[in-house]
A and B are shown apart, each in its own frame.
Chain A
Amino acid sequence: MLNRRVALTLVPLVVILASAAPVLLNRYWLFLVTTLLAYVIALIGLKVLLGDAGQFSLGQAAFIGIGAYSAAVITERYSLALPLEILAVMVICGVIAAIIAIPALRVSGLRFALVTLAFGELLQWFLRENKNVTGGEQGLYTPPMLLGPIDGKSQLTLYVVALVLALIFSVLAWHIPSTKVGRAMAAIRESPLAAESVGVSAWRTKLFAFVFAAIAAGISGVLIAHVSGSISPTSFGLFSSIYLVVAIILGGARFVFGAWIGAIYLVLVPALFTTIGLDSVYVVLSGAVLLVVIMVFPTGIAGVLSRAMRSRQNSPGKVNA
């Protein structure tokens, strides 16, 4: 009930703001907001994997990388239009995630995180060594997306595509917790014993979450490749994965809205600090903010907002049975 009410106010708000954005923003800000939307999608993947299923991955940036490099190669060499490109990236990321899942999902907790970390490092090595495909350390220039008669070079088009995809993923992730597999995720997160006793297959449930997260990251990578125009291995390394985890925890891993807040923290906040000329302050400040949020608000910023809204709804003369 609360979720529905929040969604009913937030979704139109986001849509209105989002459709107004291109008019209000200059080129630079449009670039930033599109990047932000791309990260929203990757963070929604993490929301499902970490927030819902409770699995801690340090490989999310690696999947963004796979999506970005695949997008670059696919548009350059095979001239696929965007829908096919996205489909191809979904298949690539889904299959790779399923293969990694075979060893990774046998273990859980810290060891699962380490397996995903190892995978990320392996990808780094692959990207740097296979120069003729990936361009090595320098990386690749990424061609604009191909969209038939629509102008794929236009930033506005890319922005709209990113917005639509981010909204689709938001709705899906919002719906997942109330499904059968969503309840299975809650069970493996909160009580593995209860999960087993009702016949939840922990492996299959984690596989779903892991593949979902990988596909979301892949699509995010497609957008990042096209919006930034060039890609290199460093953007998809361990540090990026850590920042993604930090962002979703800060935003609120149990909330779809947490992914949006996390993306703002990842993309907009550093840009703001750069604009006002305080780059170095950002690093210190973001560390301090993170510390405070984790200590004081374990459910993240979205958790605090949601609780505040709930208490406001309940307070004016409403009696709860």
Chain B
Amino acid sequence: MTELTLENISVRFGALTALSEISFTMSGPAKIGLIGPNGAGKTTLLSAISGFVSPSSGSVRLDNLDIMKLPIQSRAEKGIVRSFQTARLLDEETVRTNVLLGCQPIAGPGSIRQMFATPSYRKWNAKAKELAQEIEQIVGISDFSNVQVAKLPSAMRRFVEIARVLVAKPKVLLLDEPAAGLDDTERRQLERILHRISGQQPTLMVLVEHDVAVVRNVCDYTYVLAEGRLLAQGPTSEVLMDKNVIEAYFGGADHA
């Protein structure tokens, strides 16, 4: 059971208020959608949780531990990882190396022992490799394990990043528009992956998404942001029918 509590989170960039007094508690395992029109503050909220943005006020608690003051890397060690709107990968390295990079938060022997390949490090490394193989299988990129990332098409890069954020079995998984730039077949593949992951790992998955269809197909519960405020929340199917949401999100037009 994972509990992520946001309390009065406000984020200001100069005169611009990106988020004002957001408070809610997400508990997992669950698949949670975070939607809203452009500029609603979705990515900012995700950055505030992962530590890439520091809020001007408010607090974030993971299982009753205040993580507000912790740097990004300590949050990663506590099991909070995020993906990016444009996949951030090591282009010169192979798919496997990129996936293994996701194992950094897993505690293990220090760098000197790594350099001399002591038995304790070899054990760590074997475990990491096993995790990488497993996730590559699930995400469907095992055939490209040894391919240099620079040579992959953009959809495939997205899946490599998803494998990297999943490999260490995070407690809280923050995905920033994972469906952006994917075609329909790839979107269905992404949905299948996310369903499979939530079936296998007790993860609190937060999906920032522009594509309502993906949220409808994946998320059990959804929060709607508009202009930096929480507009609505509830089970996904109900929220998507909410009149205010339709108004804000689709400009009043009827959505299919």
- Of the candidates B50, B90, B102, B128, the one whose C-beta lies within 8 Å of that of A186 is B90
- B6, chain A: closest CB distance, angstroms: 19
Which chain A residues lie closer than 8 Å to B165 at the CB level?
197
> In the complex, are the beta carbons of B73 and A201 less than 8 A apart?
yes
**Does A128 reach chain B (CB closer than 8 Å)?**
no
> Known contacts A183-B104, A187-B101, A194-B101; is A176 also within 8 Å of B115 by CB?
yes
Residue of A nearest to B168 (CB): A198
> In the complex, are the beta carbons of B90 and A190 less than 8 A apart?
yes
Which chain A residues lie closer than 8 Å to B77 at the CB level?
199
A-B contact count (CB 8 A): 93
Chain B's interface size range is 35 or more
> Known contacts A179-B121, A187-B101, A200-B104; is A321 also within 8 Å of B143 by CB?
yes
Task: Give Cα A66 to B230, complex, Å.
Answer: 61
> In the complex, are the beta carbons of A198 and B101 less than 8 A apart?
yes
> In the complex, are the beta carbons of A191 and B76 less than 8 A apart?
no
> In the complex, are the beta carbons of A197 and B124 less than 8 A apart?
no
Which chain B residues lie closer than 8 Å to A131 at the CB level?
none
Q: Mark B159-194, 1 if CB is under 8 A from A, else 0.
A: 000001100000000000000000000000000000
Q: What count of chain A residues pass the 8 Å CB interface test?
A: 26
> In the complex, are the beta carbons of B100 and A197 less than 8 A apart?
no
> In the complex, are the beta carbons of A191 and B81 less than 8 A apart?
no
Binds A, one of B9-17, B23-31, B91-99, B198-206: B91-99
**Does B245 reach chain A (CB closer than 8 Å)?**
no
Residue of A nearest to B117 (CB): A175
> In the complex, are the beta carbons of A180 and B76 less than 8 A apart?
no
> In the complex, are the beta carbons of A181 and B111 less than 8 A apart?
yes
**Does A184 reach chain B (CB closer than 8 Å)?**
yes
- B134, chain A: closest CB distance, angstroms: 18
> Known contacts A179-B114, A201-B73; is A187 also within 8 Å of B90 by CB?
yes
Known: A180-B128, A197-B84, A199-B104. 17 other contacts (CB 8 A): A176-B115, A180-B124, A180-B125, A183-B97, A183-B100, A184-B104, A186-B90, A187-B90, A187-B101, A194-B164, A196-B72, A197-B83, A197-B165, A198-B102, A204-B111, A208-B111, A212-B115
Smallest CB-CB A-B distances: 8 pairs: A199-B76, A194-B88, A179-B114, A181-B111, A199-B73, A199-B105, A190-B90, A198-B104
